[in-house]
Structure 1
Amino acid sequence: MQYMKPALRNGRYTLISSSLSNTLNPNPFIFFLTSPFHTLQTFRSQSPISCFSSSMAFSSAPDPSLEKQFGEFRTHLEQSGTLRDRIRTVVSEIESTTRLMYASILLVHHSRPTPEKAKSQIDVLKEKYKQLADILGGYPGQYYRYHGDWKSETQTVVSMLTFVHWLETGKLLEHKEAEEMLGLNGPEFNLDVEDYLVGVCFMSNELPRYVVNQVTAGDYDCPRNVLKFLTELHAAFRMLNLRNDLLRRKFDGMKYDLRKVEEVYYDVKIRGLTPNGESVADQGIKGQS
């Protein structure tokens, strides 16, 4: 152990260690402690930071090139924000139109014919996409920069268009046909292929429900037609080299849609139901009578 003996020298307290017998550390050391009033004043006066005054640090004028660059950044961000506000206004109107269209399409699940109200909304959607094309017309080459603002709504629109087209023709709405229906066939503003494919996957989600409701209504031939369509569509998607992204996940969901339709079809076939709503056994009884 060491004993610290205080001593006063020149207005400062100095602790001088004296070595005691049987100490663990025989080497003496000295700690210097200054008085609290002297220490702060002396430290401040001798501190190297004092040579840099605040007036000297900020007395120089800002770099003109730096100020000009960030001024251009500010103008660019303001213009981009204004453009996005205009785009989102039109996209909000597209979303409202798709809600009305989907509400009409839902009646198909209750064995009602394809409503004309849903088909009439296609012209409204075409006009909205024309407005988007006009807005981006003044900003060439910026399509994919703002494409995310209407991407989700476009996928929903494609799903409804393909579903209505299948109800009327039993075939898939092709990409070029969807572009023409929406007016998205311009050189700078078109229908993105991935949006089209995701929309087709969304459309397949409606088919299992449609099949169940049609069988309940007595249309026992519907599962066979839907199963044939979904099988061909699933085989076509397998030709694509899909990454692990949204399109891949939606394609995986199509597998479950196909499985649900297969279950309904096998159930109808096992029961021996015919397209006119009678089983094979009932038809045999009528034939004998």
Structure 2
Amino acid sequence: MASHNGMVNPAIFEDLQTRVDEDTAVRDQLRDIIQNLEKQNRNVMFVLARAHSTPVSDLPNVLKSAEESIQKEVETIGKLSEAASKLPYYKFNNMWSRQIQDAAVAILFWAWLGGYQQDASGPKAGRLLTIEEVGAIMKIPVNLKDRDDFHLTLEEYLQALISLVEELARLARNAVTLGDYERPVLINQFIKDLHAGFQILNLKNDSLRRRSDGIKYRVKDVEDVVYDLSLRNLIPKKG
């Protein structure tokens, strides 16, 4: 056996350097994809922001345009998933978790506004997509427990739901400005249901727990809007 006179074999370090370089190359590739996804997220939210100043009858155009932008996001998420699969998921997922969460917010809001049509009955407003449905739109698995692969986590989905509540609380106020008195009532019921859902959860994650505590204030905001409408006899009668 050849001895190196007590010296460490330099080949070990050459091998380590190769691995470091490979790691760096993948990280750089990821960074580019993530920046692109970030830009696309801003784009989709910019399109969806028009919902705050668009009467319901004109929403289909906004939703169609948002859907096209969401398709681009999905393509980028596919590239991200492919590049990320070269690395241990849990070691690196904090690099893109925020962007995946933002993409989920856009998909949830778009679906809530009526962009998601699953059957022939046509699009329906007020719909909450499950984590599985969001994952199916993104074309990635969800809440994986058995393997270390790219996926949409439960936490990312829950964070996105809280952002959806914030977006809808704003929409309730803006709908009134548009003379739309039905949507605040729908939003009121929807976020009350979500609030009740979050209260069932025993959240271990601090930032999730803190943010979910804020839902009660959004519920109160929307209740105030609806209360004000009812005082002014503006709530549409059922039937």
Asked if these proteins are the same fold (TM beyond 0.5), I'd say yes
Cα deviation 1:207-254 (Å, max 9, x = unaligned)? 121111111221222222111100111111112111252211221222
> The residue matched to 2:214 in structure 1 has which SS?
helix
**More relative contact order in 1 or in 2 (CA 8 Å, sep 6+)?**
2
CA distance in 2, matches of 1:267, 1:85: 53
Gapped regions of structure 1 (runs ≥ 5): 1-60, 277-289
State yes or no: 1:94 paired with 2:37: yes
Query: Which of residues 130, 133, 147 in structure 2 aligns to 1:177?
Result: 133
CA distance in 2, matches of 1:103, 1:150: 20
Tell me if structure 2 keeps the 8 A contact 1:165–1:173: yes
CA distance in 1, matches of 2:99, 2:187: 26
Task: Give the TM-score of the pair, scaled to structure 2.
Answer: 0.82
Cα deviation 1:78-101 (Å, max 9, x = unaligned)? 221111101111111111111111
> The residue matched to 2:200 in structure 1 has which SS?
coil
Tell me if structure 2 keeps the 8 A contact 1:211–1:223: yes
The aligned counterpart of 2:21 is 78
State yes or no: 1:222 paired with 2:194: no
- Shift of residue 185, structure 1, vs aligned partner: 2.1
State yes or no: 1:257 paired with 2:200: no
Tell me if structure 1 keeps the 8 A contact 2:108–2:164: yes
Equivalent residue letter for 1:76: R
State yes or no: 1:194 paired with 2:160: no
Query: Aligned runs of 1:102-117 on 2, under 5 Å?
Result: 102-112=45-55, 113-114=59-60, 115=62, 116-117=64-65
CA distance in 1, matches of 2:40, 2:50: 17
Query: Which of residues 232, 236, 242 in structure 1 aligns to 2:197?
Result: 236
Query: Aligned runs of 1:158-169 on 2, under 5 Å?
Result: 158-168=104-114, 169=124
- Shift of residue 119, structure 1, vs aligned partner: 0.9
The aligned counterpart of 1:247 is 208
CA distance in 2, matches of 1:240, 1:152: 22
Tell me if structure 2 keeps the 8 A contact 1:111–1:213: no
Structure number, greater radius of gyration: 1
The aligned counterpart of 2:172 is 211
Cα deviation 1:179-215 (Å, max 9, x = unaligned)? 0101112872221111111011111111121111111
Which structure's residues are more often helix, by fraction?
A: 2
130-139 vs 253-262, which deviates more? 130-139
> The residue matched to 1:173 in structure 2 has which SS?
coil
- Shift of residue 74, structure 1, vs aligned partner: 3.1
Q: Which stretches of structure 1, 4 residues or longer, exceed 6 Å deviation after superposition? A: none
- Shift of residue 70, structure 1, vs aligned partner: 4.6
- Shift of residue 275, structure 1, vs aligned partner: 2.6
CA distance in 1, matches of 2:235, 2:215: 27
CA distance in 1, matches of 2:106, 2:113: 11
CA distance in 2, matches of 1:64, 1:274: 80
> The residue matched to 2:211 in structure 1 has which SS?
helix
Distance 1:213 1:144, change over 3 A: same
Which structure's residues are more often strand, by fraction?
A: 1
Task: Give the TM-score of the pair, scaled to structure 1.
Answer: 0.68
CA distance in 1, matches of 2:80, 2:19: 20
CA RMSD of aligned residues (A): 2.2
The aligned counterpart of 2:73 is 125
Tell me if structure 1 keeps the 8 A contact 2:165–2:218: yes
Tell me if structure 1 keeps the 8 A contact 2:30–2:83: yes
Query: Aligned runs of 1:46-85 on 2, under 5 Å?
Result: 63-64=7-8, 67=10, 70-85=13-28
CA distance in 2, matches of 1:69, 1:183: 40
CA distance in 2, matches of 1:228, 1:275: 15
